[in-house]
Amino acid sequence: MENGAVYSPTTEEDPGPARGPRSGIAAYFFLDRLPGPRRVLKGLQLLLSLLAFICEEVVSQCTLCGGLYFFEFVSCSAFLLSLLILIVYCTPFYEKVDTTKVKSSDFYITLGTGCVFLLASIIFVSTHDRTSAEIAAIVFGFLASFMFLLDFAIMLYEKRQESQLRKPENTTRAEALTEPLNA
């Protein structure tokens, strides 16, 4: 058997340079899965939690370090979780996982992160030493927590709108209770 006969039907010719406007690594990122306002919020969550973490890392000394350490843990976790959610939404991994599970995970992760980040910022405000790095970290922490909570509020609103569309509008609850089952 000749090598050319074995490999010729399955071997593809060299495609040459990439075709189309999206090639290389950019071909694997899809930003259109998130609507515009949510995309901006996700980007702000990522940026603000990173800035809060960086500013907190600059702090060289503290007197009551518990609040600083808790804020450090929360800001780093918030950054990594928001990065993870953004990667899931923007890569082909989104199509391999059940989309309702991704949205549900995003819903609860965003709520939990926003609440804990707000709590960490409040604790850090009460224990900081009033240095400029700490104040910047606190400001970025509060802004990031508000972005997480605003994103949660938008998701909650969208979830309620979807449930309103699923409900039949022509029957009321009283009609459904008084109507016979075999009618």
How far is 167 from 170, CA to CA, in rounded Å? Answer: 9
Q: What pLDDT shows up at residue 42?
A: 94
The band of 121, judged by pLDDT with boundaries at 50, 70 and 90, is: very high
Q: What is the pLDDT of residues 48-101, one digit of tens each?
A: 999 999 999 999 888 989 999 999 999 999 999 999 999 999 888 888 888 889
Average pLDDT for residues 136-149, to the nearest whole number? Answer: 97
How far is 183 from 178, CA to CA, in rounded Å? Answer: 11
How far is 166 from 162, CA to CA, in rounded Å? Answer: 6
Q: What pLDDT shows up at residue 118?
A: 97
The residue written with tokens 């509060």 in the block is 142
* Sign, Cα dihedral of 92, 145, 124, 132: positive
How far is 104 from 155, CA to CA, in rounded Å? Answer: 10
What is the reported pTM?
A: 0.77
The residue written with tokens 């901006």 in the block is 40
How far is 140 from 138, CA to CA, in rounded Å? Answer: 5
Average pLDDT for residues 98-115, to the nearest whole number? Answer: 94
Residue 120 scores a pLDDT above 80:
yes
Q: How far is CA 47 from CA 12, 169, 176, in A?
A: 43, 43, 50
How far is 162 from 24, CA to CA, in rounded Å? Answer: 37
Residue 138 scores a pLDDT above 60:
yes
* Sign, Cα dihedral of 166, 171, 175, 181: negative
Which of 177, 73, 152, 84 lies closest to 117, judged by CA?
73
Residue 8 scores a pLDDT above 60:
no
SS (H, E, C) 70-127: HHHHHHHHHHHHHHHHHHHHHCCHHHHCCHHHHHHHHHHHHHHHHHHHHHHHHHHHHH
CA–CA–CA angle 171, 172, 173 (5° rounding): 125
